[in-house]
Structure 1
């Protein structure tokens, strides 16, 4: 605004100077013996009518012929800004300091009828007066600005409260923190998660979803309709009805999955839907492991009953005063138990494997299966860097399968053999049974698919678990026909975490 006022006043001074310089009476006054007599009244008239601070007229030498202070007439003009008008004949606006102070001046040359420059006229407005004009405008503007600021503060306060209410009274830093936590949680879960907006277009997939759906992570699926990725999805139905769906079976690209679907609500409006899904095989593996735990629990319960019966027998013999028979029975049972423990602890000094083998002996005795720990078995301690629970899982699954493979045979033919040995570079396991063996056509895919020679729906996961554990230990497994007539599993686990001489 200040620049605009200065420009307007400068143009006004220039227009006055040009208009006055072109007046005939001003030109004719220069031809008289005393130009000041005619020019002074003209200059004062122009000054008073225009409101200018001064109107000064001078000759080509810069000597004043008219000035608002009469005693300064005849003196040289001050400011040194007349050259462009007197020498070049230009009309212009200048800013200089004269006898009355800093001023904005309009300069114009005075020419005779032949176009010769005979003088100069200067119309000036003091900078002080311009400042007063500015502040007179500024007073009203300041009032408007103050009102605008007050209204802006009130409006922004109302808007901020409204936005904060929509954002659950969270600060921006809290929102950023929650967003980071949300992404971390979504990427850390093993379930696949897919989210769609209200138009059924994909808005988010986590890493597990990319893996389960077999989609490359750099694929541009965000923003695409979900039915392009999952043609049989029910997410659009959830968007329309708001129905929650839990633990629904679904076939996704040939994979059996368990799916949950929920609408995303803002108030009562459905703005999207989310689906979480996981491979059904993961649940089956957990079911299988739980089933094995239950089997061991039943074995322990049966053993408890057996020992209770043993104690009842001893109690009865004592009551019948058959003390010799009672002592003989106690010594016989103790010697058998101690012999088993002594044999196992001598061969297997690692408590994890020793405890497992003793438990398997008890399980085999309950099933009336002859369980043999090979006399060549020998293992001091499992290396600390190898996960012991994986060894327990491998041996437990293979021996359990072997016990089930012979349970339908005659009692005299039920045999399961276990070998555990350390040859220095690797740990070897052999599990052999006297069952019917495995057909050659299923041996290649035995570890990679749900294949079982036993009846029942919940079968075929134990060997898949064995294969996974062997891979975690960087080991290998081979299947052969054993000397007992059944299947022989041979597992080799490198003690150093790798196999010498090749990959697996």
Structure 2
């Protein structure tokens, strides 16, 4: 138990070296045993074939056959046996008659006795030549046996030539020494190779431990899923390796794991990620269309040691980015309105302060009364006709701004709006009115020939919500009317400006509304916006 805990605390490199060395040790031992057994079987087979060959050769010799017809076969056969035994380095050469009685034997006292081993029947009865392993009078031996036939083909005896298995052990040990040295060399090479391999693997994984890798993988997956942007990663072959739920939603996938391993072009035919893999250059804030959605995409290569091994694409719906821009624009408008209100109040306060210093108390009280009454009347009128506090704040802010710019802003007395339906995005409505009023302020400021007047009309007729913004500006030229609904349309000539109307048109489109443009009674442009209360926002269908 203790050794197991200690082993688990070892670094990955040490663990890998120990594991691989142990595995190589087992393989080398098993290979050595198998090799030894193979060599033993080969030697045993070779000795047996040798004994069989000598037995068959001896049995077919003419002098051996002739000796069987003499009065004392042992006398001549014993000499022949001794010569063969010395020449073949056999343990024994035994020749017996058809009853298994020995005519020859290395030990003279055993001549005339029955051959031991009970393995003569195949030779003496069946006439076969064969190899057998049996226990004889001299111990266990590998023997080759062959029948002796006379000139008539009758079996007259048997030849048995054997090698004791105990004598083969010394031969086996000669090979065993070679096997042992080979195993030691192979094991040494394997251990050294394991050490170098473990170092190389540790270097490949940036010297991280398994727990650190698991932690990084968990953090990566959590991070990818936590961001609202869609993220897709591909390897150097362009195969998808990772994508988060936001990407699966844009690609209309119910199971994001189902496309892991697919080529990116199967799901995004117009992708430029493969170009990033080829040239290794970043592509930032690029517009493209995926499944009918306009998205803004960033593509960045992944590099290891300067080599591109993959790429990452992060993208987000353009409508979401525009929505954030609209919200920021609204904040800016609120801030501007508050600034104008503060500036106007400061002017009033300076006037009151001066009157007090001049002891003109009645005039100061008159101004205060007038300001309070005027502001209160305006606020009461707006809140009575429009029930939404956000829209109230926007309108009051623009009234303060108009007062500062000496512009006459008229809120039509016939205006009336109760509440916004839940299916209509309030922020888009406020953005539409804010941008139209801002555009009207700039138009009347450019026209010095007429009194700067802007009229705002808001009405809920039960079926739809109608907004009208009319100004006394110069109006829109015909050529600008023809391209009003084009991308990046601008009615202004100033640099870095001109996206107000585009945002208005985009917001109206998202609300599934309509926009009409006419020449107003004040001499300038009249924008008429109609939003159906029963309509569904277009972006909700994505």
**TM-score, normalisation: structure 1:** 0.69
Cα offsets for 1:267-302 (capped at 9, x unmatched): xxx5469999999x99x9688876775555344323
Give the equivalent residue in structure 1 for 2:411: 372
Contact kept? 1:29, 1:38, Cα under 8 Å: yes
Find the partner of 1:479 among 507, 516, 524: 516
Mapping 1:16-31, distance limit 5 Å: 16-23=51-58, 24=61, 25-31=63-69
Residue 428 to residue 47, structure 1, CA distance change in 2 (3 Å)? farther
Give the equivalent residue in structure 2 for 1:168: 206
Mapping 1:348-367, distance limit 5 Å: 348-367=386-405
Q: Using the TM superposition, name which of 347-356 and 8-17 deviates more.
A: 347-356
Residue 82 to residue 118, structure 1, CA distance change in 2 (3 Å)? same
Cα offsets for 1:477-497 (capped at 9, x unmatched): 332437545222323465765
Q: Is 1:6–2:46 an aligned residue pair?
A: no
Find the partner of 1:428 among 442, 465, 477: 465
Cα offsets for 1:7-27 (capped at 9, x unmatched): 233222222322233232433
Give the equivalent residue in structure 2 for 1:232: none
**TM-score, normalisation: structure 2:** 0.65
Residue 320 to residue 138, structure 1, CA distance change in 2 (3 Å)? same
Give the equivalent residue in structure 1 for 2:531: 491
Give the equivalent residue in structure 1 for 2:489: 451
RMSD over aligned Cα atoms: 5.5
Once residues 260 and 29 of structure 1 are traced to their aligned partners in structure 2, the CA distance between those partners, rounded to angstroms, is: 102
Give the equivalent residue in structure 2 for 1:75: 114
Matched position secondary structure for 2:446 = coil
Shift of 1:412: 4.0
Contact kept? 1:452, 1:460, Cα under 8 Å: yes
Find the partner of 1:145 among 183, 193, 214: 183
Contact kept? 1:110, 1:117, Cα under 8 Å: yes
Matched position secondary structure for 1:488 = strand
Q: Using the TM superposition, name which of 90-99 and 321-330 deviates more.
A: 90-99
Matched position secondary structure for 2:490 = coil
Once residues 74 and 67 of structure 2 are traced to their aligned partners in structure 1, the CA distance between those partners, rounded to angstroms, is: 8
How many pairs align? Answer: 470
Contact kept? 1:5, 1:130, Cα under 8 Å: no
Once residues 139 and 93 of structure 2 are traced to their aligned partners in structure 1, the CA distance between those partners, rounded to angstroms, is: 14
Structure 2: where are the runs of 5+ without partners? 1-34, 252-263
Once residues 155 and 450 of structure 1 are traced to their aligned partners in structure 2, the CA distance between those partners, rounded to angstroms, is: 65
Residue 402 to residue 487, structure 1, CA distance change in 2 (3 Å)? same
Give the equivalent residue in structure 2 for 1:242: none
